[in-house]
């Protein structure tokens, strides 16, 4: 039985990359991105760490879709800037 899982991103490249990884691992998973849910609202990334923001996104997308969800968060942490901009990279 194929299980449907949502990757909490609208980045088609990330979806394709994870789909290749899952396929190579032989997992029977139908991976879809957030774009499969046109009315899916953006999730406010209010966490204080990358992990916290990923958890916020995964939980919100799972609650909205009723499906298991995976999420990530990333940014630039520059040693010369004491780790900044960190979680504020996109802002």
Would you name the residues annotated as active-site residues?
73
Measured from the Cβ of residue 22, the count of other Cβ atoms closer than 10 Å reads 16
Angle at 23 between CA 61 and CA 74, to 5 degrees: 45
Paired tokens of 26: 């032989």
């Amino acid at each position: 039985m194929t299980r449907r899982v949502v990757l909490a991103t609208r980045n088609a490249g990330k979806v394709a990359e994870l789909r290749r990884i899952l396929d190579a691992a032989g997992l029977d998973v139908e991976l879809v991105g957030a774009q499969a849910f046109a009315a899916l609202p953006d999730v406010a990334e209010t966490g204080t760490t990358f992990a916290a923001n990923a958890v916020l996104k995964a939980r919100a997308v799972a609650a909205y879709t009723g499906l298991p969800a995976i999420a990530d968060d990333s940014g630039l942490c520059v040693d010369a800037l004491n780790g900044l901009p960190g979680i504020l990279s996109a802002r």
